[in-house]
């Protein structure tokens, strides 16, 4: 299950999120969105967890909680292909 984490600290890294989410279950991968233009964090990230139960538990536990000094928001991530853009080509 992919989790969407928003309102993170600009200094928060993928490893930090991984360690936090690993406390609730197995984290397949943690990916903090880094801006290609500035090279800095955009303020949100995506965390993929192997167990769905752990993912829901992490949402209920980490949502609206303090992380690195900032109150983060954890929700279920939407499919990247649905958003459209340059990479996702449905044809």
Partner DNA sequence: GCTGAGCGC
Residues of the shown chain interacting with DNA in the complex, contacts defined by CB under 7 A: 2, 4, 6-10, 29, 31, 33-34, 36, 40, 42-44, 46, 48, 70, 73, 75-80, 83, 85-87
Instruction: State how far the Cα of 87 lies from the Cα of 22, in Å rounded to an integer.
Output: 30
Torsions phi, psi for 47 (to 5 deg): -120, 125
Closer CB to DNA, residue 53 or residue 76?
76
- CB 52, min distance to DNA, A: 15
CB nearer DNA, residue 19 or residue 35: 35
5 burial class (0-12, 13-18, 19+ CB within 10 angstroms)? buried
């Amino acid at each position: 299950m992919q989790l969407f984490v928003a309102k993170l600290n600009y200094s928060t890294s993928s490893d930090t999120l991984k360690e936090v989410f690993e406390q609730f279950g197995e984290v397949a991968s943690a990916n903090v969105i880094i801006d290609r233009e500035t090279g800095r964090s955009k303020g949100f990230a995506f965390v993929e967890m192997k167990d769905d139960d752990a993912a829901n538990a992490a949402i209920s536990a980490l949502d609206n909680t303090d992380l690195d000094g900032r109150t983060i928001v954890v929700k279920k991530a939407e499919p990247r292909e649905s958003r459209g853009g340059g990479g996702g080509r449905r044809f």
